[in-house]
Amino acid sequence: MPFSLIFVLLLFIGLFIWLELRALIKQREYKELMVASLFLVLSISYGLDYALDWQFLPNPNKLLYILKPVSESVDKFFQVTG
């Protein structure tokens, strides 16, 4: 099980680097490159943490649970009735 998850993770990382990061480097879009690199590092970290069952990183569901009331209030504010 962990091998297949790690293989898929490496496959998507390779595709992302090949399709997106190369173009950002060539176009010298350094701000977008930093954001993309940050998301790439986060995805690698959480992917390996989940695949190998390390449990080093915090559970992101706790943050979603905390922000759920804010999300619901924003959704109610922008809800269109008619």
- pLDDT, residue 1, reads 66
What residues does each domain of the chain span? 2-57
Distance CA 49, CA 66 (A): 22
Over residues 1-51, the pLDDT tens digits come to 688 888 999 999 999 989 988 888 899 999 999 999 999 999 999 999 988
Residue reference for tokens 């993309």: 36
How far, CA to CA in Å, does 35 sit from each of 10, 25, 41, 44, 60? Answer: 19, 13, 10, 14, 19
pLDDT at residue 82 tops 70:
no
Over residues 41-64, the pLDDT tens digits come to 999 999 999 888 898 998 888 888
Output the pTM of the full model.
0.70
